[in-house]
Amino acid sequence: MNHVQRYLHYLVLPLLLSHLLSLNVAAQDDVYDLVLRNGRIIDGSGNPWFSGDVAILGDRIIAVGRIGDIRGKRAIDAAGLVIAPGFIDIHSHSDFVLLEDGDANSKIHQGVTTEVLGEGSSAGPLEGKLSPRQVTIGNSVEQWSTLGEYLDLIDRSGVATNVASYVGLNNAWQSVMGNSFDRPSDEQIQAMRKLVDRAMRDGAFGLSSQVMMPPGSLATTDDIVEIARAVVPYQGIYSTHIRNEGTGVFESVKEAIEIGERAGVAVDIIHLKIADQEYWGRMDEVVALIDAARERGVNVQANVYPYTRGNNNLVSIIPPWAHEGGRAKLLERLRDLEQRARLKHDIVNGVQGWYNHYTAVGGDWSRMLVSGNNRFKGLTMDRVMSLRTQGKSNADLLDELFDLLIEEQGSVSTVYAHHTEADMNLAMSQPWCSIGSDGSAYSIEGPLRRGNPHPRNFGTFPRVLGVYAREQNLLRLEKAVRKMTSMNAAKIGLHKRGSLAPGFFADVTVFDPKTVRDRAAYTDPFQYNDGIRYVIVNGTIVLDGGKHVGARPGRALRREQID
């Protein structure tokens, strides 16, 4: 397909579709399925809002603007409300919770209509030295090993949001290498590249890496360049959680840029931040690196979530070498007194090239909040340490850390207070920086009310609208909406979504610009938001007057095949 044919495919055909659908409407006595009337339309482009209506037939938007007296089977008066494209969460971790509960409550209540999954680890492939995954949905036991099979399962199981996915570098790496820390041969790198290629043919939107911890951190820059080249024929992107967000942030951003430049692939840096107090206030230097790369023609962008605390695992305090062989080997090392001495040295003093969460927060246990589903959930780690050391003299707090990880089988989800509002705001305001939650689709009740999760799982998108657009005026409202909609669609090549335009899929969010605001807090996260009134996915109302109606019209979205 040459560039002229591609132009006709992506621009002319939607217009023709809109015309044909309009003819179909006329044949039905000018009746739409749904009409949103008298709203303030923010179409996702970043252009100023305008007053008007949005008409929907089936799963498509048919008309935007003043549509006169044409009737809808249902009409919603949106006077005083904003009609916007449904929000696209470019960084989501709902891969498996959607199979537990497809209502996607915490995302739908934020106005999210599409989730992009697969940071570093994706739902597939699970082949070679990785075992297929198995879940029970209702009375059925489902198993899959490829990303395509997972996307098929999403369609069969029924979900409220649309679902797109990257293919994870971790999956390709461990399918070939297992839990070994050995260096792969050239043949093994090519085997990984083939797995990525097949996932792209299954519909992945690009390659995603998490190179802060193993197995992703085992991959060198050259390895990633070679593997990333597999997505180029499909116009996929490279989405990366960089190697070091602390004192190694500058070199890590440079590495992401280098990978994009050498592989010839667009780059999106996940939750851009400076997460070490030693380098706070230097976001302007990170911005300058990205601006310089873009000036010379490298398509590098980034996303952020609107909070100054990040969510990782307490086990990330344990240096990378101790993770070789998987969870069982890690626990053995934690129990070994000789290994403990080495671990303590490396935690306190660091390891070259490793992002150390402990030193990033100055060794301050009060800046770590337990978010996992265990007996300490909702407590800061200084309080946990106080409880654990009662009655003990000369207790070693790192020994207590090791013992806690052993008791919890090597995993304690933790929120770290490690970056600043000023740095975050500077990143968020850049024209190449969009919004993603780094969260999952939880619920305020039922089985998905568990642990003490980061409030971003519930509040990301309303927080941007309420705090950073309305209250702080950091972003114009139209710009904020663009960062959640068309910008994310354009980044990954998601066609006919992210904008309000005839022929586009009817993914729509309607909110009150005067009241929209997050309510979730670090110590009380299970709260939905204010001001999100209606959410429509593929033409079906899912959130009606602020209430989830149980509809699950979401679809697995696959990257369009490009000749």
Question: Rounded to whole angstroms, how far apart are CA atoms 321 and 22?
Answer: 62
When comparing pLDDT for 407 and 23, which is higher?
A: 407
- H-helix or E-strand spanning residue 412: none
Residues linked to residue 435 through DSSP beta bridges, in sequence order: 304
Topology, domain 167-269+272-308+425-435: TIM Barrel (3.20.20)
Pairing of strands 167-168, 162-165: unpaired
Using the predicted structure, report yes or no on whether residue 9 has a pLDDT greater than 90: no
* Overall size of the chain counted in residues: 563
Of 45-54, 259-268, 354-363, give the lowest mean pLDDT range.
Answer: 354-363
Mean pLDDT computed over 268-296: 97
- Structure letter (DSSP) for residue 533: E
Using the predicted structure, report yes or no on whether residue 16 has a pLDDT greater than 50: no
Contact 548, 542 (CB under 8 A): yes
Mean pLDDT computed over 68-85: 94
Q: Locate CATH 2.30.40.10 in the chain.
A: 1-86+104-111+456-487+498-553
Using the predicted structure, report yes or no on whether residue 281 has a pLDDT greater than 70: yes
CA distances from 36 to 41, 47, 75 (A): 10, 20, 6
Using the predicted structure, report yes or no on whether residue 3 has a pLDDT greater than 60: no
CATH number of the 1-86+104-111+456-487+498-553 domain = 2.30.40.10
Of 6-15, 58-67, 263-272, give the lowest mean pLDDT range.
Answer: 6-15
Give the pLDDT confidence of 294-331 residue by residue, as tens digits.
Answer: 999 999 999 999 999 998 899 999 999 999 999 999 99
% of the chain with per-residue pLDDT over 70: 94
- Structure letter (DSSP) for residue 119: S
- Specify the pLDDT at position 441: 98
Mean pLDDT computed over 202-225: 97
Contact 459, 309 (CB under 8 A): no
Nearest to 299, CA basis, from 264, 270, 254, 272: 264
pLDDT bucket at 15, cuts 50 / 70 / 90 = very low
Q: Locate CATH 3.20.20.140 in the chain.
A: 167-269+272-308+425-435
When comparing pLDDT for 25 and 247, which is higher?
A: 247
Using the predicted structure, report yes or no on whether residue 143 has a pLDDT greater than 80: yes
Mean pLDDT computed over 169-180: 97
Using the predicted structure, report yes or no on whether residue 371 has a pLDDT greater than 60: yes
Using the predicted structure, report yes or no on whether residue 433 has a pLDDT greater than 70: yes
Q: What does the block give as tokens for 78?
A: 């949106």
Q: Is 85 helix (H, G, I), strand (E, B) or coil?
A: strand
pTM of the predicted model as reported, rounded to 2 decimal places: 0.91
Highest mean pLDDT among 7-16, 64-73, 427-436: 427-436
Residues linked to residue 65 through DSSP beta bridges, in sequence order: 53
Question: What does the CA dihedral 352, 353, 357, 363 come to, rounded to 10 degrees?
Answer: 30
Q: What does the block give as tokens for 196?
A: 């990525």
CA distances from 209 to 90, 216, 243 (A): 14, 6, 9
